[in-house]
Structure 1
């Protein structure tokens, strides 16, 4: 379980850390709690919570295409790189 693993990092360091985390996650189940969509956009499964309930789940590109909560955040510019 990783809770906001890159919250205090600059973009370059965040990218390097996420690359390492991605390598370590291969073949393992890993939970990442984050508000930084860039950190999770390419993971196998994203679970979107709203008011403590699961409102959607899927891969980042699928969620954007569906136009739900994740897509709204993505399109509102909350996709931080």
Structure 2
């Protein structure tokens, strides 16, 4: 079972320790500081959080694209 310190994990992701600490706090995972240890389960929760953000962003982009396509086709009918 691998354990990684918050600052090491943040460094791998090219993020600041503070950003990872904020995410962990939002996920209700108790952490004290950048030297806190993250186990595999905690890392999995953080990675799932990033997946959810990415999927939400992509679905929002798809919805905007569909909306723009629909408005473009209605403009053609008016002219």
> What TM-score, normalized by structure 2, do the two folds share?
0.24
Higher helix share: 2
Greater relative contact order structure (CA < 8 Å, 6+ sep): 2
Identify, as 1 or 2, the structure richer in strand.
1
TM-score by length of structure 1 reads: 0.24
